[in-house]
Amino acid sequence: MKEHEEGYSMPLSAPTYTAPPFASTERSQILLVVYKADPAAVAWEVPEPLEPLGDGTMLAWIGDMCQPSHTIDLYHECLTAIKIRYEKYEGWYVNYIWVAHDMALTFEREIYGWPAHLCEDGRLGFHGSQIIGDCVRYGERLMRISFNATSVAPMGRTEAPEDKLAATIGGEFLQIRKFPHPAKDGKPIKQLLKIPHKDYTVHEIYEGNGVVELGKSGFYPNMHKLQPREIVASWYLRASWWLDYPVVLWER
């Protein structure tokens, strides 16, 4: 195989995923809760050169995603993220993420630096105005979101929930991508990436009451310390957007 014949990703003769951009279609549906946790526990999770904002603000997300070209069908995705800053930027650092698809796992880790692990597949459960989302890995429940929609139907709204959503979670996605060096004493490749997301469109949104539970796990020994102390806001939404190539802001 000549170099010009190689695929974009490994395996080079049969790439797992194509080059960006990656779309999230309007079939994607998400439970999203913004909350505040113990500031000290949150700060410990944030790697240099990022800095936590200091008030322990986090978000939890459980959804069923559709992201062509690598995953045209729905797959389960769950994550937590921390509100951070770097120089002139403020935004979100994803400290845990789980996906139920190996194609999603590989592109998230290799291109964007999201620390993806596998979880069991599943779908959000709907019971009237209540929606339940679970994150389970090999039988161990890692996260649960319970949500009940309380906002009125769109034609009766005096305020747009998507405006509050944008004001609450606005900012950049800033991520540390770290690759170990293959040599015993070699220095790892460590980069800070800014991840552009474009054409973000909300197709359906409801605000409501949300509860987040983080499980205790020997595999993630510090995760349970990030339990919510205060819920800031909660939504169910269907949205679409696309991810472009990341931008390297810092490298060591």
Tens digits of per-residue pLDDT, 51-97?
999 899 999 999 999 987 777 889 999 999 999 999 999 999 999 99
What is residue 131's predicted lDDT score, i.e. its pLDDT? 98
Residue 241 pLDDT > 80: yes
What is residue 204's predicted lDDT score, i.e. its pLDDT? 95
Residues forming a β-bridge with 173: 92, 195
If we measure between CA atoms, which residue out of 217, 179, 173 comes closest to residue 196?
173
Write down the CATH number for the domain with range 18-172+198-247. Answer: 2.40.400.10
Q: How far apart are CA 169 and CA 57, in angstroms?
A: 10
199-208 b/e with 16+ CB inside 10 Å = b? eeebeebbbb
Q: How far apart are CA 250 and CA 252, in angstroms?
A: 7
Structure confidence at residue 12 as a pLDDT band (50, 70, 90): very high
What is residue 145's predicted lDDT score, i.e. its pLDDT? 98
Cβ(133)–Cβ(119) below 8 Å: no
Q: Which helix (H) or strand (E) holds 89?
A: strand 89-99
Q: How far is CA 145 from the centre of its chain?
A: 14
Tens digits of per-residue pLDDT, 22-36?
999 999 999 999 999
Please give the model's pTM, rounded to 2 decimal places.
0.95
Q: How far apart are CA 105 and CA 116, in angstroms?
A: 5
In the predicted model, what is the mean pLDDT of residues 35-41?
A: 98
Q: How far apart are CA 106 and CA 165, in angstroms?
A: 29
What is residue 155's predicted lDDT score, i.e. its pLDDT? 87
Mean pLDDT of all residues in the chain?
A: 95
Find the range with the poorest average confidence among 36-50, 102-116, 149-163.
149-163
